[in-house]
RNA sequence: GCGCCCGUAGCUCAGUCGGAUAGAGCAUGGGAUUUCUAAUCCCAGGGUCGCUGGUUCGAGUCCAGCCGGGCGUACCA
């Protein structure tokens, strides 16, 4: 709808200004206050300045043209005149809005057209370290990345998701060292990943040898005393693995399946899937070639025993080989980048990674672009984006830890969320819904895990935020539960009224005149429901899912007010049809929006 | 030192490219259920947008300086 307004404006604009119409059209937006109409254009002011005219006069001239344009008048009410310094406020015609509602009702995609230019987009997110249990720090990348993948796909792009597992780094050296020095066979047999993560946590302390940590952990302290060279030995184990040492390789082969089953289990609960899980180990055979290539190209050179890429304007080099011969994650990232360019030929690669790595990616991207590898041409044309997000902080403003100092396990968080939801599902009002145990459990999973995801997605991804268990598991206010509840109410109406929703959609789509938006609450709801396409476009432009959550919350809020004030099933004639259509459209739209965020939507709550 | 990011209500945060009276949620106080799910709705209080200056019809938003905080900064990822 906004799009049509824009084309109307642009047709007019052409006679006044030539080239920079797109920028001017950006100055059309929704109004801040409904009393100013539905949309407002602020382009008269800057344009007038450039032309040396009075803003209000220019706005007046534009308005005359708009009112004379049939394309415009078919969709918008007659514009009376400029407001204030030169605002042009327009209001969508009620019959045009009704047509929009009817069209969306009859469309499985809710009126969202696929993008004109579909692109191949590789999305790199989650990427946990298999040696460590997943914790709250992994939520953001996983949840944001998954939501972006779903949204870009829905928009019509070819999306390839790849979970770049950390399965080849120093952490594995720690596990190997721990396995050889202090393993608990029985514990390993009973629960392999639990034992491996115990070893990881223990050996990390031993290797780091920080006095305050050792003081708090007698076992680690004893080991550190017995093995003063532990730190060096861990690196040696890592190096041996990389060099193809038979025993370390055998252990790695043995540990990996269990590690991967463990993370798959968590992804299962989160409804997160990947097209590929090519971990760091997959690219390991290519690493030596990266170093040779970059050195031969003159980009990388030896320095202090290591090999690094020295870039203009960068204080420090991007190291791609350590003095001891081992490769670093920059090496893997470069190899991965080139491999993806060659095999998937993407138009874009998005990395959903903590903002603390922005410098790293900047260096990797710059290096990749000037690298004359086989995929050089592709690489040069590719858009490489670090979709950075803020750190999750504790109340002390430092990266989040529990009181005991350990990272909060992801699974424990999920369990807690489901438990809290379960307590509410069982309360008063809901008993009458007659849900059985299995249904209650299902609703609790959707609500509890939805709350956790939503807490992350609704936050502007670029800023750090203070982790609050209570806030994240909140089930009222601006949370997933609020939207889920609104959908459940729609389902309730449809069920209680015995509504054939498919028939309703067809009827409305075939006869838009059956929609009459008489009440302002109906009108506002309709206007909001039709914004899905525009919102998704904005989400893609800046990779910001919080724009979607913000709009969903607004839509659900408008629906709740509508629901509270206006009876649906008891209405009659066109009024009933209109309200039923609005319920159906809102319910479907909210459901679609939540699903694009990876949040489940139960039929009842 | 250098680079990047942040500072908005008691708390947690939105605020698009500079637009009209700076918004939500939580918390606090008041009200609403013979009527489709009260996980709801309606109303109220609450602000030096870190500070100072600049740009202009208009600045939370852009520019400069300052104060405060975070992160990164050579062989972890």
* pLDDT in the model for residue A13: 47
Tokens (6 digits) for A520 = 């302002």
Say if residue A424's pLDDT is above 60: yes
* Tens digit of each residue's pLDDT (9 = 90 or more) over A270-299: 999 999 999 999 999 999 999 999 999 999
Give the whole-angstrom CA distance, residue A223 versus residue A179: 13
Give the whole-angstrom CA distance, residue A118 versus residue A313: 36
Tell if A42 CB is < 7 Å from nucleic strand B.
Answer: yes
DSSP string, A400-467: ---TTSSPPBHHHHHHHHHHHHHHHHTSHHHHTTT--HHHHHHHHHHHHHHHHHHHHHTS-TTS-EE-
Tell if A329 CB is < 7 Å from nucleic strand B.
Answer: yes
What mean pLDDT value characterizes chain A? 88
Tell if A306 CB is < 7 Å from nucleic strand B.
Answer: yes
> Could you tell me if A280 and A164 are in contact, meaning their C-beta atoms sit under 8 angstroms apart?
yes
Q: A241 in helix, strand or coil?
A: helix
Stated in angstroms, how far is A413 CA from B62 C1'? 42
User: Which nucleotide is nearest, taking the CA of residue A561 and each C1'?
Assistant: B41
Tokens (6 digits) for A393 = 């902080």
Q: Which nucleotides of B are covered by protein (CB under 7 A)?
A: 1-7, 12-17, 19-21, 23-27, 35-42, 56-58, 69-77
Tell if A463 CB is < 7 Å from nucleic strand B.
Answer: yes
* pLDDT in the model for residue A1: 41
In terms of C-beta density within 10 A (0-12 exposed, 13-18 middle, 19 or more buried), how is residue A246 classed?
Answer: exposed
Single out the residue of A261, A93, A251, A286 nearest to residue A193, CA to CA. Answer: A261
Q: Residue written as tokens 């060099």? A: A243
Tokens (6 digits) for A488 = 């459940």
* Tens digit of each residue's pLDDT (9 = 90 or more) over A129-141: 887 778 887 889 9
Give the whole-angstrom CA distance, residue A367 versus residue A300: 9
Say if residue A212's pLDDT is above 80: no
Stated in angstroms, how far is A591 CA from B14 C1'? 23
* pLDDT in the model for residue A43: 81
Tell if A488 CB is < 7 Å from nucleic strand B.
Answer: yes
Give the whole-angstrom CA distance, residue A593 versus residue A308: 45
> Could you tell me if A482 and A553 are in contact, meaning their C-beta atoms sit under 8 angstroms apart?
yes
Tokens (6 digits) for A127 = 């990427």
Which stretches within A218-278 are classed as H helix? 218-226, 230-243, 246-270
* pLDDT in the model for residue A428: 56
Phi first, then psi: what are they for A460, rounded to 5°? -55, 120
In terms of C-beta density within 10 A (0-12 exposed, 13-18 middle, 19 or more buried), how is residue A411 classed?
Answer: middle
SS (H, E, C) A38-73: CEEECCHHHHHHHHCCCHHHHHHHHHHHHHHCHHHH
Give the whole-angstrom CA distance, residue A28 versus residue A66: 14
Find the angle CA(A595)-CA(A596)-CA(A597) to the nearest 5 degrees: 85
CA distances (Å), origin A39, targets A62, A445, A447, A522, A529 = 15, 40, 35, 17, 15
As a whole number, mean pLDDT of residues A125-151 equals: 90
pLDDT band, very low/low/confident/very high, at A2 (cuts 50, 70, 90): very low
Stated in angstroms, how far is A455 CA from B77 C1'? 26
CA distances (Å), origin A487, targets A457, A556, A563, A593, A602 = 19, 9, 11, 11, 8
Tell if A234 CB is < 7 Å from nucleic strand B.
Answer: no
Stated in angstroms, how far is A575 CA from B43 C1'? 28
Q: Quote the pTM value.
A: 0.94
Tokens (6 digits) for A241 = 């693995």
* pLDDT in the model for residue A215: 84
User: Which nucleotide is nearest, taking the CA of residue A238 and each C1'?
Assistant: B76
* Tens digit of each residue's pLDDT (9 = 90 or more) over A67-95: 888 878 888 899 888 888 888 888 999 99
Stated in angstroms, how far is A561 CA from B42 C1'? 9
Stated in angstroms, how far is A113 CA from B75 C1'? 50
Tell if A469 CB is < 7 Å from nucleic strand B.
Answer: no
Nucleic strand B contacts from chain A, 50-79, CB < 7 Å: 55
Stated in angstroms, how far is A182 CA from B44 C1'? 64
Give the whole-angstrom CA distance, residue A154 versus residue A163: 20
User: Which nucleotide is nearest, taking the CA of residue A497 and each C1'?
Assistant: B36
Tell if A421 CB is < 7 Å from nucleic strand B.
Answer: yes
Stated in angstroms, how far is A395 CA from B70 C1'? 13
Stated in angstroms, how far is A394 CA from B27 C1'? 20
User: Which nucleotide is nearest, taking the CA of residue A487 and each C1'?
Assistant: B37
Say if residue A510's pLDDT is above 50: yes
Say if residue A405's pLDDT is above 80: no
Non-local (6+) Cβ contacts of A362 within 8 A are: A386
Say if residue A521's pLDDT is above 60: yes
Give the whole-angstrom CA distance, residue A531 versus residue A1: 9
Stated in angstroms, how far is A465 CA from B14 C1'? 13
Nucleic strand B contacts from chain A, 357-386, CB < 7 Å: 357-360
Give the whole-angstrom CA distance, residue A581 versus residue A504: 7
| Of residues A591 and A379, more confidently modeled | A591
Tell if A322 CB is < 7 Å from nucleic strand B.
Answer: yes
User: Which nucleotide is nearest, taking the CA of residue A493 and each C1'?
Assistant: B36
* Tens digit of each residue's pLDDT (9 = 90 or more) over A326-352: 899 999 999 999 999 999 999 999 999
User: Phi-psi region for residue A567, left (φ > 0), alpha (ψ -120 to 50) or beta?
Assistant: beta
Tokens (6 digits) for A434 = 């007659």
| Of residues A53 and A508, more confidently modeled | A508
Give the whole-angstrom CA distance, residue A154 versus residue A435: 33
- CB neighbours of residue A216 within 10 Å: 13
User: What is the strand order of the sheet A120-124 is part of?
Assistant: A158-162, A120-124, A348-354, A383-389
As a whole number, mean pLDDT of residues A386-390 equals: 93
Question: Do you know the residue count of chain A?
Answer: 605
* pLDDT in the model for residue A141: 94
> Could you tell me if A109 and A596 are in contact, meaning their C-beta atoms sit under 8 angstroms apart?
no
**b/e string for A247-256 if b means 16 or more Cβ within 10 A?**
ebeebbeebb
User: Which nucleotide is nearest, taking the CA of residue A490 and each C1'?
Assistant: B36
Tell if A402 CB is < 7 Å from nucleic strand B.
Answer: no
> Could you tell me if A41 and A86 are in contact, meaning their C-beta atoms sit under 8 angstroms apart?
no
Tell if A87 CB is < 7 Å from nucleic strand B.
Answer: yes
Which stretches within A458-545 are classed as H helix? 469-472, 480-496, 501-510, 520-529, 532-542
In terms of C-beta density within 10 A (0-12 exposed, 13-18 middle, 19 or more buried), how is residue A398 classed?
Answer: exposed
In terms of C-beta density within 10 A (0-12 exposed, 13-18 middle, 19 or more buried), how is residue A451 classed?
Answer: buried
Tell if A270 CB is < 7 Å from nucleic strand B.
Answer: no
* Tens digit of each residue's pLDDT (9 = 90 or more) over A15-73: 444 445 556 666 778 887 888 888 888 888 887 777 777 888 888 888 887 888 887 88
* pLDDT in the model for residue A402: 55
Stated in angstroms, how far is A11 CA from B34 C1'? 58
Tell if A325 CB is < 7 Å from nucleic strand B.
Answer: no
User: Which nucleotide is nearest, taking the CA of residue A421 and each C1'?
Assistant: B39
Tell if A207 CB is < 7 Å from nucleic strand B.
Answer: no
As a whole number, mean pLDDT of residues A531-558 equals: 95
Q: A274 in helix, strand or coil?
A: coil
Tell if A481 CB is < 7 Å from nucleic strand B.
Answer: yes
Give the whole-angstrom CA distance, residue A555 versus residue A586: 8
Each as own residue / partner, the long-range contacts of residues A52-57 (CB below 8 Å, 24 or more positions apart, any chain) are A55/A82, A55/A85, A55/A86, A56/A82, A56/A85, A56/A86
Find the angle CA(A493)-CA(A494)-CA(A498) to the nearest 5 degrees: 115
Q: Residue written as tokens 């968080």? A: A413
Tell if A475 CB is < 7 Å from nucleic strand B.
Answer: yes
* Tens digit of each residue's pLDDT (9 = 90 or more) over A429-472: 555 567 888 889 999 999 999 999 999 999 998 888 777 778 88
DSSP string, A83-112: BTTTBEEE-B-HHHHHHHHHHHHT-TTTTP
User: Which nucleotide is nearest, taking the CA of residue A477 and each C1'?
Assistant: B25
**DSSP conformation class of A196:** H
* pLDDT in the model for residue A22: 59
Tell me the HSE value of A40 on the side-chain side, using a 13 A CA sphere. Answer: 16
């Amino acid at each position: 709808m906004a799009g049509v307004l824009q084309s109307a404006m642009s047709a007019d604009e052409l006679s006044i200004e030539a080239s920079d119409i797109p920028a001017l059209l950006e100055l059309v937006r929704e109004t801040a206050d409904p009393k100013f109409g539905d949309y407002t254009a602020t382009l008269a002011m800057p344009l007038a300045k450039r032309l040396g005219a009075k803003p209000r006069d220019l706005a007046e001239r534009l308005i005359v043209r708009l009112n004379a344009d049939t394309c415009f008048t078919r969709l918008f009410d007659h514009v009376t005149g400029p407001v204030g310094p030169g605002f042009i406020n327009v209001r969508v015609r009620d019959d045009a809005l009704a047509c929009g509602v009817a069209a969306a009702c009859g469309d499985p995609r809710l009126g969202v057209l696929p993008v004109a230019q579909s692109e191949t987009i590789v999305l790199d997110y989650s990427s946990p370290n298999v040696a460590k249990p997943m914790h709250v720090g992994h939520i953001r990348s996983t949840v944001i990345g998954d939501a972006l993948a779903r949204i870009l796909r829905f928009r019509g792009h070819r999306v390839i998701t790849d979970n770049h597992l950390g399965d080849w780094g120093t952490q594995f050296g720690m596990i190997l060292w721990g396995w050889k020095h202090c393993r608990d066979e029985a514990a390993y047999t009973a629960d392999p990943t639990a034992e491996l993560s115990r070893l990881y946590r223990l050996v990390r302390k031993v290797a780091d040898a920080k006095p305050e940590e050792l003081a708090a952990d007698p076992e680690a302290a004893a080991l550190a005393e017995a093995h003063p060279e532990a730190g060096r030995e861990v690196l040696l184990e890592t190096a041996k693995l990389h060099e193809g040492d038979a025993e370390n390789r055998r252990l790695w082969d043995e540990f990996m399946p269990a590690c991967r089953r463990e993370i798959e289990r968590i992804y299962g609960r989160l409804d997160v899937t990947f097209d590929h899980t090519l971990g760091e180990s997959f690219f390991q055979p290519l690493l030596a070639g990266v170093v040779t290539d970059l050195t031969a190209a003159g980009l990388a050179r030896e320095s202090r025993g290591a090999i690094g890429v020295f870039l203009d304007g960068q204080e420090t080099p991007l190291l791609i080989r350590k003095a001891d011969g081992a490769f670093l994650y920059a090496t893997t990232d470069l190899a991965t980048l080139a491999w993806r360019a060659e095999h998937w030929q993407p138009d874009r690669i998005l990395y959903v990674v903590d903002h603390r790595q922005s410098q790293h990616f900047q260096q990797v991207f710059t290096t990749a672009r000037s690298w004359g590898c086989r995929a050089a041409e592709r690489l040069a044309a590719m858009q490489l984006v670090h979709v950075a997000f803020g750190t999750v902080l504790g109340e002390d403003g430092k990266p989040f830890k529990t009181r005991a100092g350990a990272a909060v396990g992801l699974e424990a968080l999920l369990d807690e969320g489901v438990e809290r939801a379960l307590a509410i599902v069982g309360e008063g009002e809901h008993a009458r819904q007659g849900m059985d145990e299995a249904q209650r459990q299902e609703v609790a999973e959707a609500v509890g895990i939805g709350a956790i995801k939503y807490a992350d997605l609704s936050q502007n991804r670029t800023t750090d935020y203070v982790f609050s268990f209570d806030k994240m598991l909140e089930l009222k206010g601006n949370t997933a539960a609020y939207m889920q509840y609104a959908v459940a109410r729609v389902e309730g109406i449809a069920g209680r009224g015995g509504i054939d929703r498919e028939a309703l959609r067809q009827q409305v789509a075939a006869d838009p005149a059956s929609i009459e938006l008489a009440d302002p609450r109906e009108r506002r709801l309709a206007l909001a429901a039709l914004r899905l396409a525009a919102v998704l476009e904005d989400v893609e432009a800046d990779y910001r899912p919080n724009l979607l959550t913000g709009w969903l919350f607004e839509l659900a809020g408008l629906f709740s007010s509508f629901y509270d004030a206006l009876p649906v099933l008891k209405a009659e004639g066109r009024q009933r049809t209109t309200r039923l259509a609005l319920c159906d459209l809102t319910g479907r739209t909210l459901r679609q929006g939540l699903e694009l965020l990876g949040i489940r939507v139960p039929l009842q709550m």
